[in-house]
Chain A
Amino acid sequence: MLYREAGDFKTSYTSDNQTFPIRFDRYGYYFVLGVAFLVMPLILNDYWTNALVVPFLIYTIAALGLNILIGYCGQLSLGTGGFMAVGAYASYKLMTGFPDLNIIFVILLSGLVTAGVGVLFGLPSLRIKGFYLAVATLAAQFFLIWLFTRTPWFFNYSPTGMISAPTRTVFGIPVTGASASALSMYMICLVFLVALAWLARNLTRGTLGRQWMAIRDMDIAAEIIGVNPLWSKLTAFAVSSFYIGVAGALLFAVYLGAAEAGEAFGIDKSFLVLFMVIIGGLGSIFGAFAGAFFLIAGPVLLKIMLVDNLGWATDLAAHLEIMIIGALIIVTLIMEPHGIAALWRTIKEKLRLWPFPY
């Protein structure tokens, strides 16, 4: 049968607790991985890779990171853009300061730097909660952007303050700079995404993840049963910032190639990633994918439909586009306040029982 638990016997706790307990799901997952690594590189053209797939992969990483903080640990943050800028500027300084360092390590180190900064700005979360915390994280957003635009050391004293990524290679294939091919950009982002998504899944179902969720559900109660709020909140900030830093480094080095803090990592970036997390579904790994897809592909596909296929004027299309995105956000929330992931869960439940709903 297609989507059944029946006949799929679990003989150990490990197999009972695995991520995809249903065989069909498991094979589906391997199939998607296979397609992503083997088939997609063959069929993707440059336009779709650059305009849609690469930003989708990068924003999914950022959404995963923010989802850990908001969805799993319950700490509302609006500093995502600023933290992405930390990742981007760290990678720029590392790339220009240590030309021989492999780009993989550059990106991981940028993530670590961002994690440090994230912990620093996470400290107020021990005292401030809810919307007050969200506004407090905006302090991080604005301060970091100001710092990066005003301190010449960060952009190596270039007269314009733009940073641009030099060419770096992995196994001799350029992945950053203008000579990087769409395929290599796709592959490096995909590898990071798969590794980080795997890590996120396993972190969130382990001890740490349970501590985060305890804090999210009721922090005082969690404290009473022995969860250390300091440790849990700060690790959540650290892990989340690490993801966001990696996403920022990839966005700058691999995707954009040149960036400027105020423009590329402004407050709208913070909101964009937040929307992804909420639309996708709080506290769900799949939600990060779905939310990022919705908000990255949505505008591009709408644009193609309205401008290229229907031949509308670009400005009319752009206005309609944001109206439609806004309306879709509202409709999604009214239909399913817990995001696309909750919708997906409902569909799966229905599928299990289909065709006999009782």
Chain B
Amino acid sequence: MKMTRLTAALAVTMTAAAPAIAESLFFPNMSYRTGPFAAGGIPFADGYADYFTLINERDGGIGGVPIRYSECETAYNTERGVECYQALRGENPLVLQPLSTGITYQIIPRAARDEIPIHSMGYGRTSAVNGEVFNWTFNYPANYWDGASVIINYLLDENEGSLDDKKIVLLYHNSAYGREPIPTLTRLSERLGYELLTIGVDSPGQEQGSQWLQIRRERPDYVIMWGWGVMNSTAVQEAANIRFPMENFIGVWWSGSQQDVLPAGMGADGYKALAMHGTGTDYPVYDDLQEYVYDRGLAAGTGDEVGTVLYSRGMYAAMLAVEAARTAQEIHGVANITPAMMRDGMANLVITEERMAELGLPDFGPPFEVSCQNHGGSGQAMIQQWDASAQEWNLITDWIEPDRELIMEMVMEDSLAFAAENDIEPACLN
């Protein structure tokens, strides 16, 4: 216990040494560039960082206030996540982007107490859609339950409106993240009459031999995958090995990036995945990024990831954060906003097609509006398909609507149960 004294002494010096920058908007990133999921964490973090750099270099910040960006390495580990949260919390972060369902669950109650907004874009706790219970948590533009429903709606479309007698396998990462879509798919199976079979893969998932033998025996019509990290590439490889028709194999948006399909080579051709935003460098914003960021040597990371799916997602998340900050500045008429103001900006965020075109990202994401009651955006997603010879993802559908009625019903059940457990009176903050 002598050690604790030493720590305290250190603590004093460390906190005194912390930089105090007067006028800046602090956007930290709880990234992971190491550990078992680094391959997914790196491109996201690069995209997130590069967009902020662009805003600083081109526009001099948001509304004239420069952005301060920093990363805290979580290695996808919840304990490191808590440490990062504690480290960042004191510096008034405008929004936290944990990029891990486990860490999101953990910091939701803490962030609500500390009044720091969380944006878990396409992951995290789905029932955070209910903004009256989860005042500080946002998960627009789409969540897992939307994703599951979009896939089923897409399959309905493919099968002329009926999934009767179809057999669908859900191959999931055996963690909080992977289990999220099960309730939605089960409910939908009751309604639509398909047979659902869930097969779990334990993390990290580089051993899926028996799972795919089982799939081969069961001969399902479709396989839906909720995977992350090495599980994705292994599954795509195994599917190619057993000659499962790739066009009937659909992944969630976390299972649809370049590194998931490239290792399988030509075998991955035709694999489909959800897309909640566009991909590739065919957007005008990349001209600016080239001019202001890459050419000036300011790109984050190695720069190899530009234009990949997860890079685009990081950039999209940063774009939404910047737009929310702008909204907040307009609402409050203050340039140097606080986390509480940022929350108002997020809760009143409106993304239109025109605005996206102005930002150099036409049709990149769905147009949507956030309200105090609904933190979930529109829930739309597209389907993209991998073309192995050209090595690129092609969007093959337009925006597909989820079954929002069912999802809102489930969101209400889950969020109100959470509210009851934690003595939260559902209400809007103002």
- Which residues of A are in contact with B by a Cβ distance under 8 Å? 32-33, 35-36, 40, 43-48, 50-53, 55-56, 146, 149-150, 159-162, 164, 166-167, 177-179, 255-260, 262-264, 289-290, 293, 297, 300-301, 303-304, 307-309, 313-315, 317-319, 322
Contacts and interface: CB of A to CB of B under 8 A. Distances in A.
Contact of A47 (B79, B87, B109, B176): B87
Given A46-B90, A166-B422, A32 B1 contact: yes
Contacts of B109: 164, 177-178, 257
Given A260-B176, A297-B3, A51 B83 contact: yes
A33 B86 contact: no
Contacts of B89: 46-47
Given A159-B179, A159-B414, A44 B73 contact: no
A162 B179 CA distance: 10
B129 to A, nearest CB: 14
Given A35-B5, A178-B112, A264 B11 contact: no
B350 interface: no
B395 interface: no
Contact of B73 (A166, A255, A303): A303
Contacts of B34: 315, 318-319, 322
Contact of A55 (B42, B72, B79): B79
A123 B139 CA distance: 49
**B contact patch SS:** helix
Contacts of A159: 179-180, 182-183, 414
Given A164-B105, A256-B106, A314-B71, A289 B3 contact: yes
Contacts of A56: 3-4
B242 interface: no
Chain A CB within 10 Å, residue with most, of B15, B71, B175: B175
Contact of A257 (B5, B7, B38, B110): B110
A35 B73 contact: no
Nearest to A50: B86
Interface in B162-181: 174-177, 179-180
B78 A314 contact: no
A195 B369 CA distance: 55
B123 to A, nearest CB: 12
Chain B: interface residue count, which band?
35 or more
A239 to B, nearest CB: 22
A166 B421 contact: yes
A43 B106 contact: no
**A contact patch SS:** helix
B1 A289 contact: yes
A233 B378 CA distance: 60
Interface in B101-140: 101-102, 105-106, 109-110, 112-113
Interface string B384-406: 00000000000000000000000
B277 interface: no
Interface of B: 1-5, 7-8, 10-12, 14-15, 17-18, 31, 33-34, 38, 42, 71-73, 75, 77-79, 82-83, 86-87, 89-90, 101-102, 105-106, 109-110, 112-113, 174-177, 179-180, 182-183, 200, 202-203, 301, 414, 421-422
A73 B202 CA distance: 34
A290 B110 CA distance: 30
Contacts of A317: 73
Contacts of A160: 101, 105, 176-177, 179-180
Which 8 residue pairs of A and B lie closest in terms of their CB atoms, listed nearest first?
A: A315-B33, A178-B109, A160-B176, A314-B73, A318-B34, A50-B86, A51-B83, A48-B11
A52 B310 CA distance: 33
A153 to B, nearest CB: 15
A304 B33 contact: no
Contacts of A304: 14
Contact of B31 (A33, A35, A314, A322): A314
B16 to A, nearest CB: 11
B285 to A, nearest CB: 24
A308 B34 CA distance: 18
Contacts of A314: 31, 33, 71-73
B82 A44 contact: no
Contacts of B4: 35-36, 40, 53, 56
A309 B38 CA distance: 24
A172 to B, nearest CB: 16
A47 B176 CA distance: 27
B248 to A, nearest CB: 26
Contacts of B176: 160-162, 260, 263
25 contacts: A32-B2, A35-B5, A40-B5, A44-B11, A45-B11, A45-B15, A47-B11, A47-B15, A51-B82, A52-B7, A55-B79, A159-B414, A160-B179, A161-B175, A164-B109, A166-B422, A178-B113, A263-B77, A263-B203, A289-B3, A297-B3, A297-B7, A307-B73, A308-B14, A318-B73
A176 to B, nearest CB: 11
Contacts of A52: 7
Contacts of B105: 160, 162, 164, 258
Nearest to A146: B202
Contacts of B33: 313-315, 318
Contacts of B2: 32
Contact of A258 (B5, B42, B86, B106): B106
B139 to A, nearest CB: 14
A78 to B, nearest CB: 18
Chain A CB within 10 Å, residue with most, of B7, B10, B15: B7
Contact of B202 (A50, A262, A297): A262
B102 A260 contact: yes
A290 to B, nearest CB: 8
Contacts of A45: 11, 15
A178 B136 CA distance: 14
Contacts of B12: 43
Contacts of A307: 72-73
A256 B78 contact: yes
A264 B78 contact: yes
B85 to A, nearest CB: 8
B87 A36 contact: no
Contacts of A263: 77-78, 102, 175-176, 203
Given A50-B83, A166-B422, A161 B179 contact: yes
Contacts of A260: 78, 102, 175-176
Contacts of A51: 82-83, 86-87
A309 B17 contact: yes
